[in-house]
Structure 1
Amino acid sequence: MNLEQLVKMANQIGSFFESMPDRQQAMADLASHLKRSWEPRMRRELLAYVDQQGGAELQPFVLEAIHLHVSTLQ
């Protein structure tokens, strides 16, 4: 799976969780979902993209969730 697909999937998942009323819980739930549902390789690629390129193509909600819950995603 290429990076473009990972970013698209993360943004789609983020759109779902962003609609939840409790923003902080939604971010934690997003990170938890990625941890449970994505292979470690996929999470590593996404984290490397954020770390090395800033994650510009990610929605702000997704990027903030990744920054807040990076330890969950590793």
Structure 2
Amino acid sequence: MDMQNLVKMANRIGDFFGAWPDRDQAREEIAGHLRRFWDPRMRVEIIDYVESEGGAGLQDIVIEAVKALERPGAPA
């Protein structure tokens, strides 16, 4: 999938939950949304992007949420 599209979608999720007064809860909700609603391939792409490119263009809270994600298919 196009990375700029993933960045845009992730930031829209960040816009919604980032407005919450509790930053920790907002970060958990963003990560939870990505787990529940994004295809595993999309999660792998955004995780790789944050790890390799530092998440350029992503909101700070989204980067934090992505770093909290487990890589799909990774052993528990």
Establish whether TM, by shorter chain, passes 0.5.
yes
Return the structure number with greater relative CO, CA threshold 8 A, min gap 6: 1
Q: Percent identity?
A: 50
Tell me if the contact between 2:31 and 2:65 (Cα under 8 Å) persists in the aligned partners. yes
Gaps of 5+ in 2: none
| Residue pairs, 1:2-13, within 5 angstroms | 2-13=2-13
Q: Post-superposition, which runs of at least 4 consecutive aligned residues in structure 1 deviate over 2 A?
A: none
Distance 2:54 2:4 in 1: 14
Aligned CA RMSD, in angstroms, stands at 1.2
- State the aligned residue count: 72
Distance 1:40 1:2 in 2: 15
Distance 1:20 1:58 in 2: 18
Amino acid at match of 2:22: D
Using structure 2 for the length normalisation, give the TM-score: 0.86
Distance 2:59 2:51 in 1: 15
| Residue pairs, 1:5-44, within 5 angstroms | 5-44=5-44
The equivalent of 2:69 in structure 1 is 70
Structure number with larger C-alpha Rg:
2
Gaps of 5+ in 1: none
